[in-house]
Structure 1
Amino acid sequence: MKVSVDRELCYGSAECVHRVPAVFEFVDGFGAVRPGREQVGEEPEILEAVEKCPSQAITLTETPRSAPDGP
């Protein structure tokens, strides 16, 4: 899964930073939030951070799986 934060919508409530500090971080130490890493799993705390974002700025999208190598 790929996590992204719409910086136009994010107003820095920090709900996600407090819930999953290993994934989300403040931009320049305060204000808007960005993913500290983009590729994540479907861990419950990440799904909760997406659901609980007051500005609905966080999205998760499926990342394409690479095709298996040929024979």
Structure 2
Amino acid sequence: MTKVSVDPELCYGSGECMYRVPSVFTVADGFGSVIAGREDSGSEPEVREAAELCPSQAIVLGSQPA
């Protein structure tokens, strides 16, 4: 399983992630973030695509123990 997060130091608030996968991402205080409880949703192909297409490369995907 893959964990997803948004690096607040890199994000500049384009909202691209929220438009691509609104079930996982939101915009809070002008910056992208992961909806609470959705951090482990990184296995979805849409989340991987959102990470690849993030204009600031702020979406972080990482492995998590099973």
Count how many residue pairs are aligned between Structure 1 and Structure 2: 63
Q: Which has the higher strand share?
A: 2
* Residue 9 of structure 2 corresponds to residue 8 of structure 1: yes
Structure 1 unaligned residues grouped into runs of 5+: 66-71
CA RMSD of aligned residues (A): 1.0
Report the structure number with the largest CA radius of gyration: 1
1:43, distance to aligned residue in structure 2 (A) = 1.7
Paired position in structure 2 for 1:39: 40
Alignment check: 8 A CA contact 2:4 2:42 kept: no
